[in-house]
Structure 1
Amino acid sequence: MYHIHGGHGRYLRELIVNLEELDTTNRYTIILKPEGAALYIPKNPNFKTIVTGTHWYTLGEQISFLRLLNKLHADLVHFPHWNVPLLYRRPFVVTIHDLILCEYPTSAVSTRNPLIFWVKYAGFQIILRHALTHAEHIITVSETTRDQITDHFPELLTETTPIHLATSVPHVISSESRHSRDESRNLNVEIPRLRPASQDFARDDDLRRHFLYLGTAYPHKNLPFLLHAFHQFGIRYGRTYQLILAGAGSIFYDRLLATDTAKTLLENGDLIYKEAPDDAALEELYTNATTVICPSLMEGFGLPALEAAARGVPVIASRIPAFQEVLGDTAIYFNPHNIESLIAALCHSGARRLDDAIESREDKERDPIAPTTSALHDDNLRDKLLSRAQQFSWRKTAEKTLRIYQLTNCQVLA
């Protein structure tokens, strides 16, 4: 197990730390990249680490990493992603986070030449199918991902168990702190706010609430759609809000920020990009956000949405199965293919009348673009968000995963 960055890295860190506390019987070998080894020092004497320089999604993963695994003679290996060496023959379980590449097989998700992408995509299909068919057990991060596997691989016989991800932030945010912040807005008292790195991106006298997006800029994240909707929202109702995008720098963010819509928003101070915020910066981003926006066309889980809920921050989310599974009835949902639906959701989040956004519609209740907004008008929304987040915990994730290890190992030995 050697991913360390991003959502997969967070999953691994929390899983391993909790397994250390839960399991004092079995011995574990954690395989890490050099940067991961610098961040993780086992506390449980039954846990040890091995460092590998092998890069994932490469030929080396199929050769040198395979040799390393074979030398370990492990009773069971847990691969936290689909990239299992094709020639590995000992028992293993695999975690599948999503099947986005199966749903959106496009070279737009790659920085490589399209021909190279399609060659690698063919390899992905072979390795994924091998992982699913040869695993002793499949773990998915949601029922949504389990259903996607069933849809794409109806002939698959491997037992599959959904085990939810969780959030590692405190579930209970000080009511007094959030109340004071909200009250200060109502009284027009100056409150701390985030500023862009360059003063070219915002005016010095700006004091504006903001919407927050956290994540990558991959095509399925639907960010051009978000920028266009936010731009139209500002044109129609005044530039009273800013939009903050936060995520690791990449060519996908470079392309997004080079679009005409992004340039206009940046020049007007309506858009701010925060590159690769650390944990402290993430906490500040969440705490100061009016609303977190999750516009994806597809997700396996939706960790930023859950992290927002854990802080009592309202969420506007696309009406897709993963977000509905994680957030239930605590979010404002919109149609991720219709600009007007997102604009209407932004209006609701900004305490504006939905009628202003779709006033020309006669049958608003049945309008297919109208967002699901009952959560917004719930006086107990914050308590419901916190309660929803408390249903997910990394300890539960680790306990269920350990049971899979134990069950699988017993079956193999039998």
Structure 2
Amino acid sequence: MRIGIDARMYGPKQGGLGRYIEQLISHLEQIDDRNEYVIFLRRENRDAYSPTKPNFKKLIADVPWYGWREQLELPKIIRQTKVDLTHFPHWNVPLFYNDPFVVTIHDLLLLHYPTRESSALGPLSYWFKNLAFRKVLRHAVRKAEHIIAPSEFTKQDIHNALGVPLNQITTTYLAPWEPVSFRGTTQKSDESIGGGTEEFPRINADTTSQGNPSSYLLEMTQVNRPYALYVGVAYPHKNLNRLLDAWQLFQQKYGTNYHLVLVGKRNYFYNKLLSNETMKQCNNVTYTDYLPDSELTKIYSKASLYVFPSLYEGFGLPPLEAMQYNIPVISSNRACLPKILRDAALYFNPEKNEEIVEALYRGFTDNSLREKLICNAKKLLPSYSWEKTAQRTLDVYENSV
């Protein structure tokens, strides 16, 4: 069988979706010598992927996502390769593509949070975008040979919201990216949790765009001061405004010997967050912009706590990635998160500042709880592996044609 994979969003610069595509292809290469694969990439990420098996080929499909070219040009490019099945790893399946395909629906965020806050567009443009999203999504789930979901929560969500029969949806759990250079080297000690009083560097709206995050990173990793870490985007459902409000209360109640570090690619939403009055008033918050994996591991390895205040997730990969570094995790109790993280996280109501504050305090100071969460995380992590994800995805491919 000849299989095409739309990998235009390949790589960590595209966040969790890019990581998913990257890891899926890497592990399909490891387990499948039988089928042929055509990996469609854009020019900007073509060098990020190099096939390691002769049955994997890459092809340039330099078509931006979410636009008219995606609707008209991408189907032509795919058809020219004469694939038997195409895997679209996101909901943006071209309306004019009606050959056999499977699609991964990671979440229904835009259905559940269709607010203007979630977009940088004007009112008319946003209305049109939302209308187009709904049309494309319904086409994708209606025409797909099969649908892949990253969690049972998302599977049920697709069934309830879009009327897709459950037997048309397969759950393929995701897994954290495993940083080779830090495997087994990140056990926290009491000394790393305790405080120094050194001042963290602050990266604000005026300096980030011109500064080099790596230089700030070097300073940060040399400071023995406990910090809570968040890695990800700043979309409204990630609830970072609430986290900042809670952080200010936390400092007022428990002192300023703690720090909060936010890591994520600078864009409209981070710019908006950086201009937040609370952000301006908090002296113990650092924003680093995007960091490559080699530098991100250093931030993880020094963190005392990972905080995840999201209101909605289809899977919730960042907390699992943090657990690999033996970092205790405190998490929102919403959506799929309690089912994915199980007893390896301390949960809080993400809409109550007081609960976030107390979770932060316990996460920093309760050594018995910290040890329990780290121990439970070590038992949890083997449940998720990219080998399992790739094998279940391959089963979907082979059962769809």
In structure 2, the residue matched to 1:214 is 231
In structure 2, the residue matched to 1:101 is 110
Query: Unaligned stretches of 5+ in structure 1?
Result: 353-374, 410-414
The 10-residue stretch of structure 1 (381-390 or 276-285) with the greater mean CA deviation from structure 2: 381-390
Hey, what's the Cα distance between the residues in 2 that align with 1:178 and 1:330?
A: 16
Structure 1 residue 59, shift from structure 2 partner: 0.6
In structure 2, the residue matched to 1:3 is 9
Alignment of 1:58-97 (within 5 A): 58-97=67-106
1:247 aligns with 2:255: no
Would the aligned equivalents of 1:332 and 1:376 in 2 still touch at CA under 8 Å? no
Hey, what's the Cα distance between the residues in 2 that align with 1:6 and 1:213?
A: 14
In structure 1, the residue matched to 2:187 is 178
Q: Secondary structure at the match of 1:117?
A: helix
Hey, what's the Cα distance between the residues in 1 that align with 2:299 and 2:58?
A: 34
Q: Deviations over 1:116-165 (max 9, x none)?
A: 01111101001101100110110001111111111211355761011011
In structure 2, the residue matched to 1:367 is none
Q: Deviations over 1:6-25 (max 9, x none)?
A: 11111111111111121111
Would the aligned equivalents of 1:132 and 1:156 in 2 still touch at CA under 8 Å? no
Hey, what's the Cα distance between the residues in 1 that align with 2:127 and 2:315?
A: 26
In structure 2, the residue matched to 1:17 is 26
- Aligned residue type for 2:229: L
Q: 1:262/1:321 Cα in 2 relative to 1: closer, same or farther (>3 Å)?
A: same
Q: 1:196/1:284 Cα in 2 relative to 1: closer, same or farther (>3 Å)?
A: farther
Would the aligned equivalents of 2:158 and 2:164 in 1 still touch at CA under 8 Å? no
Would the aligned equivalents of 1:247 and 1:277 in 2 still touch at CA under 8 Å? yes
Structure 1 residue 200, shift from structure 2 partner: 9.5
In structure 2, the residue matched to 1:258 is 275
1:331 aligns with 2:340: no
- Aligned residue type for 1:406: E
1:316 aligns with 2:333: no
Q: 1:79/1:158 Cα in 2 relative to 1: closer, same or farther (>3 Å)?
A: farther
Q: 1:376/1:36 Cα in 2 relative to 1: closer, same or farther (>3 Å)?
A: farther
- Aligned residue type for 1:3: M
Structure 1 residue 237, shift from structure 2 partner: 1.4
Structure 1 residue 388, shift from structure 2 partner: 0.8
- Aligned residue type for 2:9: H
Q: 1:235/1:220 Cα in 2 relative to 1: closer, same or farther (>3 Å)?
A: same
Would the aligned equivalents of 2:343 and 2:373 in 1 still touch at CA under 8 Å? no
Q: 1:170/1:385 Cα in 2 relative to 1: closer, same or farther (>3 Å)?
A: farther
Query: CA RMSD, aligned part only?
Result: 2.7
Aligned residue pair count? 381
**Among the aligned pairs, what percent are the same residue?**
38
Query: Unaligned stretches of 5+ in structure 2?
Result: 1-5, 209-215
Hey, what's the Cα distance between the residues in 2 that align with 1:294 and 1:323?
A: 10
Would the aligned equivalents of 2:179 and 2:297 in 1 still touch at CA under 8 Å? no
Hey, what's the Cα distance between the residues in 2 that align with 1:61 and 1:135?
A: 17
In structure 1, the residue matched to 2:307 is 293
Would the aligned equivalents of 1:211 and 1:293 in 2 still touch at CA under 8 Å? yes
1:386 aligns with 2:395: no
1:277 aligns with 2:295: no
TM-score (normalised: structure 1): 0.86
Q: Secondary structure at the match of 1:93?
A: strand
Q: Secondary structure at the match of 1:350?
A: helix
**Which residue, 135, 144, 152 being the options, matches 1:126?**
135
Structure 1 residue 381, shift from structure 2 partner: 3.0
Hey, what's the Cα distance between the residues in 1 that align with 2:164 and 2:335?
A: 23
TM-score (normalised: structure 2): 0.88
Larger Rg: 1
Q: 1:69/1:127 Cα in 2 relative to 1: closer, same or farther (>3 Å)?
A: same
**Which residue, 50, 56, 59 being the options, matches 1:47?**
56
Would the aligned equivalents of 1:291 and 1:349 in 2 still touch at CA under 8 Å? yes
Would the aligned equivalents of 1:289 and 1:313 in 2 still touch at CA under 8 Å? yes
Structure 1 residue 99, shift from structure 2 partner: 0.5
